[in-house]
């Protein structure tokens, strides 16, 4: 799936927000999403993402959030903060490297799709494209 597919049906390419507190991982996401033809905003928290989105004056089309974030925050909380700020259910997914049954059960109970690390680029690309198309 190339840049043309990422832009299909949009006047401008879809805007993807990634909330990830590991700088190197966030940089890798940025390289991937931009190579796929998406606009990208990366942040280590929902607060930082909101500040960057305010500058762009654009709501995200999709949110990817790491399940475990700094200071006890979760990706679920981050997605909910962005949804509340923009007043609608922005599609999103959680990514986690956690392996405990309790954590996986908790993440799965949110209703957001869950991808387990390591996430392949094709798996991520397909999940985001599906989410944008169907609004999950």
pLDDT band at 9 (very low <50, low <70, confident <90, very high): low
> What does pLDDT average to over the chain?
90
C-alpha–C-alpha distance, residues 34 and 63, integer Å: 15
How confident is the model over 45-77, as pLDDT tens digits? Answer: 999 999 999 999 999 999 999 999 999 999 999
Confidence (pLDDT) at 125:
96
Mean pLDDT of 27-41: 97
> Distance between CA atoms of 63 and 81, rounded to whole angstroms?
11
User: 95 CB contacts (<8 Å, ≥6 apart)?
Assistant: 20, 64, 65, 66, 67, 75, 114, 115, 116, 117, 119, 124
Tokens of 19: 């909330």
For residue 5, pLDDT beyond 80: no
Residues near 43 by beta carbon (within 8 Å), at least 6 away in sequence: 17, 18, 19, 26, 49, 52
Residue 112 sits at the vertex; the CA angle it makes with 107 and 114, to the nearest 5 degrees, is 60
pTM comes to 0.90
Q: How confident is the model at residue 35 (pLDDT cuts 50, 70, 90)?
A: very high
Distance CA 106, CA 121 (A): 25
**pLDDT reading at 1 higher than 80:** no
Residue with tokens 């993440």: 107
pLDDT tens by residue, 106-126: 877 888 899 998 999 999 999
């Amino acid at each position: 799936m190339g840049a043309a597919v990422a832009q299909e049906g949009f006047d401008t390419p879809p805007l993807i927000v990634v909330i990830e507190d590991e700088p190197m991982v966030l940089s890798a996401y940025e390289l991937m999403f931009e190579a796929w033809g998406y606009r990208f905003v990366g942040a280590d928290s929902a607060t930082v993402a909101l500040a960057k989105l305010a500058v762009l004056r654009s709501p995200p089309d999709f949110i990817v959030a790491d399940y475990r974030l700094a200071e006890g925050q979760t990706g679920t909380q981050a997605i909910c903060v962005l949804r509340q700020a923009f007043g609608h259910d922005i599609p999103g997914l959680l990514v986690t490297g956690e392996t405990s049954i309790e954590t996986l059960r908790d993440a799965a109970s949110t209703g957001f799709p869950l991808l387990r690390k390591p996430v392949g680029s094709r798996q991520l690309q397909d999940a985001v494209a599906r989410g944008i198309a169907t609004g999950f």
